[in-house]
A and B are shown apart, each in its own frame.
Chain A
């Protein structure tokens, strides 16, 4: 029995999400006495040797013109071929957009049980147990798939990559697949507006504002802090609904899931639907005038008071620190 990690994106160096899932798969494989098989699809095939250093025992590569773009139809075909080659077992996919798109279709073809948005996958001694947030993060569910092939879509930044170990050994084998190109054609791209040059989901720092800001103006100050820290600006649903900032910035169950090293929540009360999208952040800072606000229950560092007084001094001190660094 094996644990399959499906990999896409990246190049000679695998994508960050792939490295995380490989690290998680390696730990599960060691606990359950299995091997890790990576399915390196499309351009990710170039990263096959590196995947071994990150934890794979065996890499099956699938290269085909149809995989040059993120064409889900072709990727489902390629993923299915890898899984059929390996047989029963656990299949892990990174939870990015393509992962969400192909995982259900792959599970359908393999008649496999699928759990999406897993924040943990554990081996309990006899089976794999997947944990996911439900009811907008107010509860957690632990599930097991009762099928031969079990599929887990892993939320980004919830598993930890291993340091690359050039001493690890493994095999790389090409798999011949002729994926069918899709019926859905990409005709244009529109760049997402990004503040501070960093995409929200990838940003190491997110500075987010909510209803407590009282209007669109204060987001300029958040942008300034984000720029200084190399981060991006986020927002709560309330701020988006009020029209103060575009939905592209929304963090939460109905927005984007982020897990940066530092999340600064300004004037955000901490409704569970917001917390569901950011609770995995390494350090959470909350600035709020209400000491009872639920955001302080998940925050690591808090400042109680009026953001209009706190923020300018915070920003000035940051500039001083950054300037002297």
Chain B
């Protein structure tokens, strides 16, 4: 079984609001205001892939669209247990356009041999468009299952749990298929050991440009943009908090309940 996992290197979402800075002209976060990490749901997707490999055998190829720096993310994924990595250089690729991201990743996935399953995080944890999984499925002509915390393989059939309205649904899909992964107790990303990190340095990283994948300016460049970012701003939060008074915690508790009645909230 061959599993392709698409990941994105993003600004650490845990960075404090105080350290977070934006460049209003380039309309993105200032690089260097925090460390770069793999998106949180992408890590869950990697964990799911590695667990499947451990259970059923096979291999895992991790793909990313990014700059030379994104190799750090790929090394991390290799240390977690991926077998091979693909970096697609984003130099000539339109940014913040999910349809382009998916088109480029799909072109790279087509170059891999016999992929049975394509995984990605349900959203990046950065711009959070949350579109790439569904768009990959359309590009590759595969079925799509979103919001998947876990799945199992039964011959040629994949049995996936997915979040649905009002609970979880268990669905069956044929191989190959695309699934977007959501976080759960049993897909918390593992921390690679020193040995794994050393091993990762010996695993192969293939690099492509969009042109290598047969994609020109019209398909992957700025001409393919469907969205225009008009403005990026940090919303001003002016505190309107009304603090309840009281000499003790108990008194504050009583006053809090009364305050909610006064405000007609309860």
Contacts and interface: CB of A to CB of B under 8 A. Distances in A.
Interface of A: 9, 70, 72-73, 96-98, 100-105, 107-109, 111-117, 129, 132-136, 138-147, 182-192, 199, 205, 229, 243, 246-247, 253-255, 261-262, 271-273, 282-283, 285-287, 294, 296-306, 308-318, 321
Chain A contact residues, majority secondary structure: mixed
Given A107-B99, A145-B227, A321-B257, A140 B241 contact: no
A147 B226 contact: yes
Given A104-B135, A253-B125, A302-B241, A112 B226 contact: yes
Given A253-B13, A298-B237, A144 B167 contact: no
Contacts of A117: 128, 130
B25 interface: no
Contact of A301 (B159, B227, B256): B256
Given A144-B228, A247-B183, A313-B253, A189 B134 contact: no
B56 interface: no
A186 B169 contact: yes
A116 B41 CA distance: 17
B258 interface: yes
B173 A183 contact: yes
A316 to B, nearest CB: 8
B172 interface: yes
B183 A308 contact: no
Given A184-B143, A304-B243, A310 B226 contact: no
Q: Which one of B126, B139, B184, B231 has the greatest number of beta carbons of chain A within 10 Å?
A: B231
A98 B165 contact: yes
Interface of B: 11, 13-14, 17, 20, 22, 27, 29, 40-41, 98-99, 125-131, 133-135, 137-139, 143-147, 159, 161, 163-174, 177, 183-185, 225-235, 237, 239-244, 246, 248-261, 263, 265-266
B134 A105 contact: yes
B234 A138 contact: yes
A97 B263 CA distance: 33
A107 B99 CA distance: 9
A297 B40 contact: no
A183 B176 CA distance: 11
A282 to B, nearest CB: 8
A308 B257 contact: no
Contacts of A134: 126-128, 232
A206 B183 CA distance: 21
B125 A136 contact: yes
Q: Which 5 A-B pairs have the closest CB atoms?
A: A309-B249, A313-B253, A113-B226, A317-B257, A314-B253
A190 B160 CA distance: 12
Nearest to A282: B265
Given A104-B131, A301-B241, A318-B257, A187 B166 contact: no
Given A98-B165, A318-B257, A301 B242 contact: yes
Contacts of A302: 241-244
A105 B252 contact: no
Contacts of B261: 321
Contact of A285 (B227, B230, B256): B256
Given A70-B164, A186-B171, A302-B241, A314 B254 contact: yes
21 contacts: A9-B165, A70-B164, A97-B146, A102-B134, A104-B133, A115-B227, A139-B22, A140-B232, A146-B227, A183-B143, A185-B171, A188-B169, A189-B164, A272-B17, A287-B256, A303-B243, A304-B252, A311-B253, A314-B253, A314-B257, A318-B257
